[in-house]
Amino acid sequence: MQSTYDELPYEDLAFFHTHPSNLAVVATLCGLSPPPVDECRVLELGCGSGFNLLAMSQSLPGARLVGFDLSPLQIEAGRRMADEIGAANVDLRIGDIGGIDAALGQFDYIVAHGVLSWVAPELRERIFQLCRRHLQPDGIAYLSYNTDPGWHQRRILRDALRFHAAADGTPLQRVRHARAMLERMAGEIPDQDSDYVRFLRREVEALRDDSDAYVFHEFLESHNHPLRFEAFADLAQANGLRYFGEARYGTSAFAQDGALRYALDAVSDDLLRQEQYHDLLRNRHFRQSLICHAEQQPTWKLAPRSRGALVVISRAEPLPSEETDARTFRLHGETEVRVRDPVVVAILDVLCEMWPLSMSMRSLIGMTAERVRAAELAPGVPVELVIASTIVAGYGWGYWHLYAHSPPAATEPGEMPRASPLARLCAARSPSVTNLLQRPVELSAEQQAVLQRLDGRTSAAELAASLAMAPEAIGRVLRELAECYLLQLDRTP
Ligand SMILES: C[S@@+](CC[C@H](N)C(=O)[O-])C[C@H]1O[C@@H](n2cnc3c(N)ncnc32)[C@H](O)[C@@H]1O
């Protein structure tokens, strides 16, 4: 049976927060011992074209990655891509989640991104049952869904668009019809200053940048059922599972600090209730929740023995500053922060020095300890403990990135540079590619031209000649691509 996803498929996107490495980091920070990532087995439910799994296959060549989707058009497109890039460890199947058989076996990680709210409500419970049946005892599942209270507000727009454009035409015609109505109405709103008008304007503006597929499946599709966090946690519990945190670690209630921490503690000492209050305070509309078997016992504390399992790969650059009591850094090549805390400053100084190399969290603690003067810390507190908890807190603020594996990436171009086959395929079509950390990279025209030619059999000199570029320019672009984690390690013996 043809679905609307066959008529208007989602774009091919990879989602960093679903990567087993990220799931393992959050689980480890919550005191769990998740399965090792390098050779893990991953099941993705409602995987679309499977692009997310194809991207994982580039950073996890030893993993076994299985995807299910109802839409033949999307799965067939994914299979063609898998063939083109030789991703033999990706198995994409056309199938109904509801019909998955016990014989499929067990997985270390299960991912369902954008599925729980977008299927018929009767299938929701089935997804939890599948997690219970197909997850290894120490496995982790990721389920994302639309939630309230944020969707109470967005529902206004969905109702209006469905009222106008729900029934007639193809999905694409209905999106165009809905967009035209919004644009016509947006300019005619009478009371320009009310909160409601401000909300409407913001939403209309955001929708202008969203893809047709997103607008259709979010606002016009028959299934989009937001799920309150409390109901999500109940469903998990009823099916022998346990909620323990968000895939965006810093958005979990337990990761909040300052006044918000105080407010959440004051209102309840129950973690699940705190999560629900947190949604209320933030008007959250989307969750990326992690669950494990109910028998697992999260502590929400990083065990000191697990520090060695975490890897830090994060870009930081010092920026000039006139101030004497604060330093300024650029993080991840984009955000600027002013920092006073001496431990945070010392961590960032180490990151500036180490980039683009990876290091274990243990090494980061050791190198930071050498820079922090004991006089700057509260007396009697072990310096390593302060640094470790600052690394965890800073990860929650988005200051630096943690991983649970080292991707097979070359941080130097080498003699015969090689980009991942998926990145080369994507670069041949557009400047948007996914790197070996499962993160999006927007390439310049120069980088795009070079990347698609990095087959591991062409030297920098040959590239320069074929692209009519100066050798220095090629050298610079290759270094930039290596720093973006787009080049593979040379595996030839
Ligand atoms: C909102 S899309 C999300 C796709 C992808 N995970 C992403 O985030 O880009 C929902 C996907 O679930 C698939 N789907 C819906 N019902 C399904 C079912 N019963 N069994 C398998 N796949 C299903 C759809 O075909 C669609 O690809």
Q: How many angstroms separate the alpha carbon of residue 450 from the centre of ligand 1?
A: 34
Is the minimum distance from the CB of 67 to ligand 1 under 6 angstroms? no
Which ligand 1 atom is the nearest neighbour of the CA of 97?
Answer: 20
As beta bridge partners, residue 288 has: 144
Low-confidence ranges of the chain (pLDDT < 70): 1-2, 191-192, 374-375, 491-493
Q: Which of 171, 198, 220 is the last residue of a domain?
A: 220
- Using CA positions, which residue lies closest to atom 1 of ligand 1? 114
Q: Is the CB of 68 under 6 A from ligand 1?
A: yes
With respect to residue 414, please indicate whether it lies within any of the assigned structural domains. Answer: no
pLDDT at 357: 95
Q: Three-state DSSP class for 431?
A: coil
493 within domain boundaries = no
- List of long-range contacts for 327-335, beta carbons under 8 Å, 24+ apart: 331/398, 331/399, 331/400, 332/401, 335/398
* 129 and 59 belong to one structural domain: yes
Distance in Å from the first CA to the final CA of the chain: 49
Query: Does residue 114 line the site of ligand 1, with CB under 6 A?
Result: yes
Q: Tell me if 300 is assigned to some domain.
A: no
In one letter, which amino acid is 117?
S
Task: Give pLDDT, residue 493.
Answer: 40
If asked whether residues 55 and 88 sit together in one domain, one would say: yes
**Residue 83 near residue 75, CB atoms below 8 Å:** no
pLDDT of 84 reads: 97
3-state secondary structure string across 232-288? HHHHHHHCCEEEEEECCHHHCHHHCCHHHHHHHHHHCCCHHHHHHHHHHHHCCCEEE
Question: Among 105, 104, 128, 106, which Cα is nearest to 116's?
Answer: 128
The answer to whether the beta carbons of residues 57 and 44 sit under 8 Å apart is no
Q: How far is the CA of 177 from the centre of ligand 1 (A)?
A: 24
Q: How far is CA 243 from CA 114, 142, 395, 457, in A?
A: 18, 10, 20, 48
* Residue 10 Cβ < 6 Å to ligand 1: yes
Residues 121 and 263 occupy one common structural domain = yes
Regarding the beta carbon of 74 and ligand 1, being less than 6 Å apart is answered yes
Decide whether any atom of ligand 1 lies within 6 Å of the 245 Cβ: no
CA of 47 to the centre of ligand 1 (A): 6
Q: Is the CB of 69 under 6 A from ligand 1?
A: yes
pLDDT the model gives residue 197? 81
The answer to whether residues 459 and 368 belong to one domain is: no
* Residue 347 Cβ contacting ligand 1 at under 6 Å: no
Output the DSSP codes for 325-376: S-EEEEETTTEEEEE--HHHHHHHHHHHHHTTS-EEHHHHHHHHHHHS-GGG
Same domain for 274 and 256, yes or no, is yes
Say if CB 105 and CB 35 are below 8 A apart: no
Asked whether 71 lines ligand 1 (CB < 6 A), one says: yes
Domain region containing 30:
4-147+226-293
> Any idea what the CATH number is for the domain that residue 91 is in?
3.40.50.150
Q: Which atom of ligand 1 is nearest to the CA of 98?
A: 19
Q: How far is the CA of 172 from the centre of ligand 1 (A)?
A: 18
CA distance 340 to 45: 45
- The answer to whether residues 264 and 174 belong to one domain is no
Our answer on whether the CB atom of 47 is closer than 6 Å to any ligand 1 atom is: yes
- Does residue 415 sit within a domain? no
Pocket test for ligand 1, best of 2, 3, 5 (most atoms within 8 A of CB): 5
Instruction: Look at strands 402-403 and 311-312 and give their pairing.
Output: antiparallel
CA max distance for the chain: 71
Q: Specify the number of domains making up the chain.
A: 4
CATH code of the domain containing 426:
1.10.10
d(CA 349, CA 421): 34
C-alpha 479/C-alpha 123 separation (Å) is: 48
In-domain check, residue 64: yes
* Residue 303, in any domain of the structure: no
pLDDT in tens, 343-388: 999 999 999 999 999 999 999 999 999 998 766 777 777 899 999 9
Q: Are residues 136 and 26 in the same domain?
A: yes
Residues 126 and 263 in one domain: yes
Q: Are residues 36 and 155 in the same domain?
A: no
Q: Is 250 exposed, middle or buried (0-12, 13-18, 19+ CB in 10 A)?
A: middle
Helix 195-209 vs helix 171-186: crossing angle, to nearest 10: 140
Residue 304 lies in a domain: no
CB 312 within 8 A of CB 359: yes
Instruction: Determine the pLDDT at residue 203.
Output: 86
Q: Whose CA is nearest to atom 17 of ligand 1?
A: 70
Q: Check whether residue 26 and residue 92 sit in a common domain.
A: yes
Q: Assess whether 186 and 66 both reside in one domain.
A: no
Which pLDDT value is given to residue 123? 94
In this structure, are 44 and 116 located in the same domain? yes
Q: What is the pLDDT of residue 375?
A: 63
Asked if residue 105 belongs to a domain, the reply is yes
For 8, 62, 204, 440, 485, the CA distances from 479, given in Å and listed in that order, are 38, 27, 40, 18, 10
pLDDT value of position 374: 66
- Distance (Å) from CA 69 to ligand 1 centroid: 6
Q: Are 368 and 346 in contact, with CB atoms under 8 Å apart?
A: yes
Give the atom of ligand 1 at the shortest distance from the alpha carbon of 217. 1
